[in-house]
Amino acid sequence: MKCLSCQYEMPIDQHQILCPKCGGLMEIIVEPLKDFSFSKLRGKGVWRYKELIPGSYKSIVSINEGNTPLIKSSNINGNLYFKFEGLNPTGSFKDRGMTVAVSSAVSLDYKTVIAASTGNTAASASAYAARAGIKSFIVLPKGKVALGKLAQSILYGSVILEVDGSFDVAMDAVMKLYKDLKIVYPLNSFNPWRLEGQKTIAFEIIEELGVPDNVIVPVGNAGNIYAIWKGFNELVKVGVIDRIPRMIGVQAEGASPIASAIIKGKDTPDFIENPDTIATAIRIGKPVNWQKAVRAIKESGGTAIIVSDSEILDAQKTLARKEGIGAEPASATALAGYFKAINDKIVDKDEKTVLILTGHSLKDPDSMTKADAKRILVNPLHIEKIILGEINGSNS
Ligand SMILES: *Cc1c(COP(=O)(O)O)cnc(C)c1O
Ligand SMILES: [Zn+2]
């Protein structure tokens, strides 16, 4: 393990979440296995790749996460694929990280877990803690969490702590709490063990498709884009693939510290005090994993893209109406970013491109109802007339 801040290096130790010297973020560096091959693997989902996931686990807390479909576009572009992470057990990719982090917590005999969240980490942490039979606290920005996500945490039985302020305020509180009170295990993505689960997105893409040219990822706290890049990188090291796709990060206009820095060619982002976007899952002004994300983007020869809320909602609707796939607004940023990348000639339409659709549309019912649809109050006796009018175009 290596500290990103002070460069301190130590042998892999599952107890370590932050640097024991300076409290900085740690990176887990996995020794490449000899004779690794996908054909020897058994099972499905995240734990299919257990050989590539460091740590030792007394018991595995799993709800069959991962093994999500890679759906080929049928009406937007035949070279475009959607990795639909919305089909994980709680409806987002967070489950891939949570199975590893909660299994770690249980193996280390923790009885209590905590997570700050814009909603999906909370839903996932609540479910996995419930499955493990341990207590969970979640810290949410009050009034800023999509209804489906809040409802999940209520159902799974977490203690819900709501703060006045943004996700960043909640995140700071959890980080401080963990530093002061070591008996509560943190499930945010500053916990590098979570990213070890999330990297399996890369493994599944390679097993099914081979190496795409581009992978486009919505970026919030910025752990996932790094985790996926790390997965590709580890496959290069074991000799399964010989190149890494370009990692392209997408952020929303009102919450784009990393993308702004990349676009301006700056090495460090300017954090944003009051981030705002309809894509609540990535409504983050101070991404804790920014160093890791910048590295993934730069070392893969990728870039970053900024999209507006109206482009996000348009993309969400296009994805639903052209492909039949329902993704939450944060996930739709990947498609909005793809359209922009094609337009700006960052990506060619002939290149094989995978969009990471991070979460399910049912997470955020309010956003779905913003899509325009005809809703007509009818007298049942007039339905026939209305349908014929619609079909013949006279009511349009
Ligand atoms: C968490 C989340 C993201 C952002 O992932 P990071 O690792 O924080 O960058 C994007 N979309 C959805 C739906 C999420 O839940
Ligand atoms: Zn350090």
Host domain of residue 362? 70-91+194-368
Q: How far is CA 59 from the centre of its chain?
A: 25
Q: Domain total for the chain?
A: 2
Ligand 1 pocket, 221 CB below 6 A?
yes
Give residues whose Cβ lies within 5 Å of ion ligand 2: 3, 5-6, 8, 19, 21-22, 24
pLDDT tens profile 83-107: 999 999 999 999 999 999 999 999 9
Q: Give me the amino acid identity at 2.
A: K
Ligand 1 pocket, 357 CB below 6 A?
no
Residue 299 lies in a domain: yes
**Number of alpha carbons in the 13 Å side-chain half-sphere of residue 162:** 9
Q: Which of 90, 138, 221, when mutated, tests ligand 1's pocket best, judged by the most ligand atoms within 8 Å of its CB?
A: 221
Residues 323 and 271 both lie in one domain: yes
State the distance from the centre of ligand 1 to the C-alpha of 94, rounded, in angstroms.
Answer: 8
Q: What is the pLDDT of residue 20?
A: 94
Residue 290 lies in a domain: yes
Ligand 1 pocket, 331 CB below 6 A?
yes
Contact 65, 90 (CB under 8 A): no
pLDDT tens profile 307-321: 999 999 999 999 999
Residues 264 and 347 both lie in one domain: yes
Contact 82, 352 (CB under 8 A): no
Task: State the closest ligand 1 atom to the C-alpha of 221, by its place in the atom list counted from 1.
Answer: 8
State the distance from the centre of ligand 2 to the C-alpha of 7, rounded, in angstroms.
Answer: 6
Ligand 1 pocket, 333 CB below 6 A?
no
Ligand 1 pocket, 254 CB below 6 A?
no
Q: What is the pLDDT of residue 387?
A: 94
Is residue 379 marked as binding?
no
Query: What's the rounded Cα separation, in Å, for the pair 201 and 237?
Result: 17
Residues 209 and 293 both lie in one domain: yes
pLDDT tens profile 176-196: 999 998 899 999 999 999 999
Q: What is the pLDDT of residue 5?
A: 95
pLDDT tens profile 364-390: 999 999 998 989 999 999 999 999 999
- Nearest 10 degrees: CA dihedral of 381, 383, 385, 391? -170
Residue 18 lies in a domain: yes
- The yes-or-no verdict on residue 65 having pLDDT over 80 is yes
Residue 243 lies in a domain: yes
Is residue 324 marked as binding?
no
Ligand 1 pocket, 92 CB below 6 A?
yes
Query: What's the rounded Cα separation, in Å, for the pair 269 and 98?
Result: 28
Residue 20 lies in a domain: yes
DSSP output for 203-238: HHHHHHH---SEEEEE-SSSHHHHHHHHHHHHHHHT
DSSP structure class, residue 360: B
List of residues 6+ apart from 109 with CB closer than 8 A:
none
Q: What is the pLDDT of residue 176?
A: 93
Ligand nearest to the CA of 287: 1
Q: Which residues pair with 308 in a beta bridge?
A: none
Q: What is the pLDDT of residue 316?
A: 98
Residues 11 and 85 both lie in one domain: no
Residues 74 and 26 both lie in one domain: no
Q: Which two tokens stand for residue 244?
A: 């890494």
Ligand 1 pocket, 223 CB below 6 A?
yes
- The yes-or-no verdict on residue 394 having pLDDT over 90 is no
Element (H, E) at 131: helix 120-132
Residue 157 lies in a domain: no
Residue 172 lies in a domain: no
Is residue 220 marked as binding?
yes
DSSP output for 65-116: -----EEEPSSS-TTEEEEEGGGSTTSBTHHHHHHHHHHHHHHTT--EEEEE
Ligand 1 pocket, 358 CB below 6 A?
yes
Residue 221 lies in a domain: yes
State the distance from the centre of ligand 1 to the C-alpha of 120, rounded, in angstroms.
Answer: 8
- The yes-or-no verdict on residue 306 having pLDDT over 60 is yes
pLDDT tens profile 241-295: 999 999 999 999 999 999 999 999 998 999 999 999 999 999 999 999 999 999 9
Q: Give me the amino acid identity at 101.
A: A
List of residues 6+ apart from 250 with CB closer than 8 A:
216, 217, 218, 219, 259, 304, 305, 306, 307, 333, 334, 336, 337
Q: What is the pLDDT of residue 182?
A: 87
Is residue 79 marked as binding?
no
Name the E strands within the chain.
2-3, 26-27, 70-72, 80-84, 112-116, 135-141, 159-163, 185-186, 214-218, 246-252, 303-307, 353-357
Residues 12 and 83 both lie in one domain: no
State the distance from the centre of ligand 1 to the C-alpha of 67, rounded, in angstroms.
Answer: 18
Is residue 221 marked as binding?
yes
Query: What's the rounded Cα separation, in Å, for the pair 30 and 281?
Result: 29
Nearest CA to ligand 1 atom 5: 220
What CATH number is attached to the domain comprising 300? 3.40.50.1100
pTM of the prediction?
0.97
